[in-house]
Structure 1
Amino acid sequence: MTPDQVAPRSLTGLLDTLDPENPATGAEHRHHDAHEGLTIQDMLDRVGARSFGAALLVPSLILVSPLSIIPLMPTIGGLVILTISIQAFFGRDHLWLPGFLATRRLSGAQLKRAVNYLRKPAAWLDRNSRHRLRFLSASPMDRIALLAVMVVAATWPFLEILPMFTSISAGGVALIAFALMVRDGFVLIAGYTVLGLSLAVVAALISGIF
């Protein structure tokens, strides 16, 4: 990752870094042309090596979009989110991904589809977020948020056949990641609510099986 990359400060800014039609995401030094697609490593490089909140947003937003129906996408996204959140939990300064995850690629058309789908909700969240209940997103409370993300993301590989479930729970992860990035405790509570409902569904499924 490029350590001097400045992380986006909003959801709209993050989507701009992934948009193949944004001039800023065209061919540039050390990166693939966004029109030809980006690997997961490319995407994370664009949001910065030090911002774990922004890094968590990348795979969670992809899973919120219609791309979640692509086979194995929930599993790959879940593993990426687990890897990022574990490193954030233990206080690493820079993010690292194993090669089999870092080299996974989305085409330019897939990226554009996801970005367009997420533009309106991202703009709404940007307009309505602000610094509120900041203690909920500060250390050590942020570790609770990361732990919740890890627990939920770990269920996705086993629920691959339920893409709608993955999209909804990924929305909760995205809310938590966004809240950590902008320090908004209200958004964090909303994310906890979605993840809590997701875990309730998982518990109901397990109890039904056994």
Structure 2
Amino acid sequence: MTDPANLREVLDRISETATGRPRVTLGAIIDTVGRRSYGPVLMIIGILLFSPLSGIPGVPTLSGLLILFISVQMLVLSGGFWLPELLMNRSLPTEKLLRGIRFIEPAAEYVDARLHPRLVLVVRRPGSYLLGGVCVLIACAMPLMEIIPFSATAAGFAIAVFGLAMVSLDGLLAVLGLIYTVTIAGLIAVNML
């Protein structure tokens, strides 16, 4: 199976996997989008963090651990990634997952129409090391984001942008995501002082 080429294809694959089941596991979703694809998995985690779920206590920290686990593997492994069975067996109600996918489908079509491969060196090696490093830093800051309002949502947006940039091979989007991340980190640092 080839890696998904855009956001719509990621959503379609997840929908196909989930349909007909009462619940769908994280493992089934990851197998659907491909274990060699760091981008779709980071994008999915980012979208979940960008949603109101990031306001639930513990979700930012758990998401941060997942981002850290994947990002470190992105930095040190050349093949696909591995997740513990405990995480892979976690499941979501299919109805809620499909409702969320239907909600973001119009935005996915809009985004896909504007993204295309450019500045590919930013999202492929060696540039992907920078993205992986930034994702590690964001992941390490996630427990702190439990107490700073809306910071986990902002971090989720950055992770989703990096994942989407990797999926679409759009290095310009990755650069914009890096600028956004530095700006938000600066604003949070200034407000904490």
TM-score by length of 2: 0.87
Counterpart of 2:155 in structure 1 is 169
| Aligned with 1:123 (options 109, 113, 132) | 109
Counting only pairs closer than 5 Å after superposition, residues 57-76 of structure 1 correspond to structure 2 as 57-76=43-62
Counting only pairs closer than 5 Å after superposition, residues 34-53 of structure 1 correspond to structure 2 as 36-53=22-39
1:190 aligns with 2:183: no
1:14 aligns with 2:10: yes
Specify the SS of the correspondent of 1:154.
helix
1:149 aligns with 2:135: yes
Map Cα deviations across residues 10-50 of structure 1 (whole Å, 9 max, x no partner).
1111122233xx5x5335xxxxx2xx222222221111111
- Indicate if the aligned counterparts of 2:25 and 2:88 stay in contact, CA closer than 8 A: yes
Of all paired residues, the percent bearing the same amino acid is 27
Q: Distance in 2 between matches of 1:25 and 1:106?
A: 10
- Indicate if the aligned counterparts of 1:43 and 1:58 stay in contact, CA closer than 8 A: no
Task: Give, in angstroms, the shift of residue 101 of structure 1.
Answer: 2.6
Runs of 4 or more, structure 1, over 6 Å off, are none
1:160 aligns with 2:146: yes
Residues 179 and 79 of structure 1: CA distance in aligned 2, closer, same or farther (over 3 Å): same
Residues 121 and 168 of structure 1: CA distance in aligned 2, closer, same or farther (over 3 Å): farther
Task: Give, in angstroms, the shift of residue 78 of structure 1.
Answer: 1.5
| Aligned with 2:121 (options 108, 111, 135) | 135
Counterpart of 1:26 in structure 2 is 19
Counterpart of 2:97 in structure 1 is 111
TM-score by length of 1: 0.81
- Indicate if the aligned counterparts of 1:152 and 1:169 stay in contact, CA closer than 8 A: yes
Q: Distance in 2 between matches of 1:61 and 1:134?
A: 23
Counterpart of 1:80 in structure 2 is 66
- Indicate if the aligned counterparts of 1:67 and 1:114 stay in contact, CA closer than 8 A: no
Task: Give, in angstroms, the shift of residue 110 of structure 1.
Answer: 2.8
Task: Give, in angstroms, the shift of residue 129 of structure 1.
Answer: 0.5
Counterpart of 1:199 in structure 2 is 185
Q: Distance in 1 between matches of 2:53 and 2:101?
A: 11
Structure 2 unaligned regions, length at least 5: none
> What one-letter code is carried by the residue in structure 1 that aligns with 2:18?
T
Higher relative contact order (CA 8 A, sep 6+): 2
> What one-letter code is carried by the residue in structure 2 that aligns with 1:16?
D
Specify the SS of the correspondent of 1:38.
strand
Tell which deviates more after alignment, 71-80 or 110-119. Answer: 110-119
Count of aligned pairs between the two proteins: 193
State the superposition RMSD in angstroms.
2.1
Task: Give, in angstroms, the shift of residue 163 of structure 1.
Answer: 5.8
- Indicate if the aligned counterparts of 1:67 and 1:110 stay in contact, CA closer than 8 A: no
Residues 151 and 140 of structure 1: CA distance in aligned 2, closer, same or farther (over 3 Å): same
